[in-house]
């Protein structure tokens, strides 16, 4: 069993980005600038935005956080999005989800200029990804692809089961692994809650991406000997063994599954750290005009 150390790879990538930003500074170029909009006071959202802000500072990016109360009108938020779209200082921005019920998330996402949509949630970016054009790819699938690349895990011709079909994880992950590309060229099955023979499908898979959000769902009896297992799930459960009283569990019963695998990601320390790093990479691409050339 080989551990896929997402924390280590994420730190490595952060160092690479830091060096690149230092070079840009020396050349008198523009420092990449990521902005985030956060609405309300949801604890998890505050934590995510806090992590993103810290990561920006770590690599030398400029970072702006715009905070709004949860009674903000949809029209006002749309205007704020438009201001960021038009602000030449901002290379890319994200709107932290979830938004309050009276605001349409889809409307807000579609109001973001695709050229600044570093979360890769805009239909234009999703569509471009599907047909293989340069696009911002949402952070979690992009992070998983980077891990597969850096650990040189063969995907060509392999049978992959992705469990989950959300627009931000399961669906893009399935498309990326099935693309005519390297990594890619896999034969992908995208499973979901209506899939009937999941156990049988998983037991034949060379690679399993578990992104369903059910703690320790994947057990050793389901997994093929020598498979690669990528655990995306994060569930916070109470624990009397930690200082905080909480611990994080993945979708994989790690201790028993790990023994059967060739490669496996742990939780925490696997996919999670890569997600923020992918956002930094997308912001860097935005500032360099790599996806959509700047004129």
Interface with ligand NDP, residue 196, by CB under 6 A: no
State how far Cα 288 lies from the chain centre: 21
Nearer to ligand NDP, 274 or 291 (CB): 274
Nearer to ligand NDP, 196 or 243 (CB): 196
Q: Just list the catalytic residues.
A: 52, 96, 119
Token pair in block for residue 71: 């009674």
Nearer to ligand NDP, 51 or 288 (CB): 51
Given 92, 114, 183, 272, the residue binding ligand NDP (CB under 6 A):
272
Looking only at the bridges linking them, the beta strands covering 246-249 and 235-238 are: antiparallel
Least distance in angstroms from the C-beta of 232 to ligand NDP: 4
Least distance in angstroms from the C-beta of 270 to ligand NDP: 8
Distance separating alpha carbons of residues 26 and 30, to the nearest angstrom: 10
Given 213, 256, 262, 290, the residue binding ligand NDP (CB under 6 A):
213
Interface with ligand NDP, residue 9, by CB under 6 A: no
Interface with ligand NDP, residue 6, by CB under 6 A: no
Interface with ligand NDP, residue 141, by CB under 6 A: no
Look up tokens 């690679």; give the residue.
207
Least distance in angstroms from the C-beta of 6 to ligand NDP: 9
Token pair in block for residue 126: 């999703």
Distance separating alpha carbons of residues 170 and 163, to the nearest angstrom: 7
Going by C-alpha positions, the residue among 1, 2, 19, 3 that lies closest to residue 11 is 19
Distance separating alpha carbons of residues 201 and 171, to the nearest angstrom: 17
Nearer to ligand NDP, 63 or 189 (CB): 189
Q: Which of residues 161-180 bind ligand NDP (CB under 6 A)?
A: 163-166, 168-170
Angle at 167 between CA 196 and CA 282, to 5 degrees: 140
According to DSSP, the residues that pair with 191 across neighbouring strands are: 163
Interface with ligand NDP, residue 188, by CB under 6 A: no
Spell out a b/e string for 179-202, using b for 16 or more CB atoms within 10 Å of the CB, else e. beeebbbbebbbbeeebeebeebb
Interface with ligand NDP, residue 94, by CB under 6 A: no
Least distance in angstroms from the C-beta of 94 to ligand NDP: 13
Q: Where does this chain bind ligand NDP (CB under 6 A)?
A: 140, 163-166, 168-170, 191-195, 198, 211-214, 232-235, 271-272, 275
């Amino acid at each position: 069993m080989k551990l896929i150390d997402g924390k280590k790879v994420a730190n490595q990538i952060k160092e690479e980005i830091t060096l690149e930003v230092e070079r840009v500074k020396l050349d008198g170029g523009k420092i990449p600038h990521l902005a985030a909009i956060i609405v309300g006071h949801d604890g998890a959202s505050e934590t995510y935005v806090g992590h993103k802000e810290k990561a920006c500072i770590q690599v030398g990016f400029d970072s702006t956080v715009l905070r709004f109360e949860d009674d903000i009108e949809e029209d006002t938020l749309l205007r704020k999005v438009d201001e960021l779209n038009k602000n030449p200082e901002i290379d890319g921005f994200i709107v932290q989800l979830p938004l309050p019920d009276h605001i349409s998330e889809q409307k807000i996402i579609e109001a973001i200029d695709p050229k600044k949509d570093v979360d890769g949630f805009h239909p234009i970016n999703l569509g471009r990804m599907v047909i293989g054009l340069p696009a911002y790819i949402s952070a979690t699938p992009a992070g998983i692809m980077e891990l597969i690349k850096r650990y040189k895990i063969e995907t060509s011709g392999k049978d992959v089961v992705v469990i989950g079909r959300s627009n931000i994880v399961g669906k893009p992950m399935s498309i990326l692994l099935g693309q005519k590309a390297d990594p890619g060229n896999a034969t992908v099955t995208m499973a979901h809650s209506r899939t009937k023979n999941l156990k049988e499908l998983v037991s034949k898979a060379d690679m399993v991406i578990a992104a369903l959000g059910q703690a320790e769902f994947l057990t050793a009896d389901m997994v093929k000997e020598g498979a690669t297992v990528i655990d995306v799930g994060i569930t916070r459960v109470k624990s009397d063994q930690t200082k905080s009283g909480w611990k994080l569990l993945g979708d994989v019963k790690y201790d028993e599954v790990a023994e059967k695998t060739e490669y496996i990601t742990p939780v925490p320390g696997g996919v999670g750290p890569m997600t923020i790093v992918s956002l930094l990479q997308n912001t860097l691409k935005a500032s360099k005009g790599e996806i959509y050339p700047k004129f």
